[in-house]
Amino acid sequence: MSDAHSSPSVLFVCLGNICRSPAAEAVFNTHLATQGLTEQFTADSAGTIGHHAGHPADGRMRDAGAARGHTLTSVARQVVRDDFDRFNLVVAMDQSNLEDLLDAGANPDRTRLLGTFLPDYDDDIDTPQEVPDPYYGGDRGFEVVLNLLEAATPGVLAALQHDF
């Protein structure tokens, strides 16, 4: 692996990179800051499609995140093949995103669903929970997404600390 980062790194991926994955990046960065680990890890986000490339995160997600202390500053971009070498861990928000990533050449040993990082997840008996796309739903959908991201973030950090 030709890792461009000197620190363990994670790429969060959803469909368009305007709701779930930029929120995951922001939640992860907030968690790092509260742990005093900001300089030790790198996080980014991307989408499996480039339709929203160059746009900021959805305003509803920015507002929902801000209400919880998360600042979404990323600009949407599409995943590129180089990302699979640059990042130690690639985290997909749902099964469709995961399949798209694997079809594009992502390393299956370093590409996982976010739901596998939830505290009660047991890979021997559970099907990983997907992070639902809140784009076409109401405000409650953004809260559900943030709940899942906040619950899974410590597990993502632990994986980076122990596996990479």
How far is it, in rounded angstroms, from Cα 164 to Cα 162? 6
Kindly report, residue by residue over 110-127, the tens digit of the pLDDT.
999 999 999 999 989 999
CATH 3.40.50.2300 fits 9-163, yes or no: yes
- Band (pLDDT 50/70/90 cuts) for residue 6 is confident
Flag whether pLDDT at 5 surpasses 60: no
The pTM is what? 0.95
Q: Where are the domains of the chain?
A: 9-163
**How crowded is residue 129: how many other Cβ atoms within 10 Å of its Cβ?**
17
Specify the pLDDT at position 164. Answer: 84
Specify the pLDDT at position 119. Answer: 96
Query: What residue ranges in 9-78 does DSSP mark as E strands?
Result: 9-14, 42-47
Catalytic machinery residues: 14, 20, 133
The kind and range of the H/E element at 91 are strand 89-92
Flag whether pLDDT at 4 surpasses 60: no
How far is it, in rounded angstroms, from Cα 117 to Cα 159? 9
Kindly report, residue by residue over 131-156, the tens digit of the pLDDT.
999 999 889 999 999 999 999 999 99
How far is it, in rounded angstroms, from Cα 72 to Cα 14? 15
Under 8 Å between Cβ of 15 and 48: yes
Kindly report, residue by residue over 37-87, the tens digit of the pLDDT.
999 999 999 999 999 999 999 999 999 999 999 999 999 999 999 999 999
Q: How far is CA 86 from CA 28, 32, 44, in A?
A: 18, 20, 11
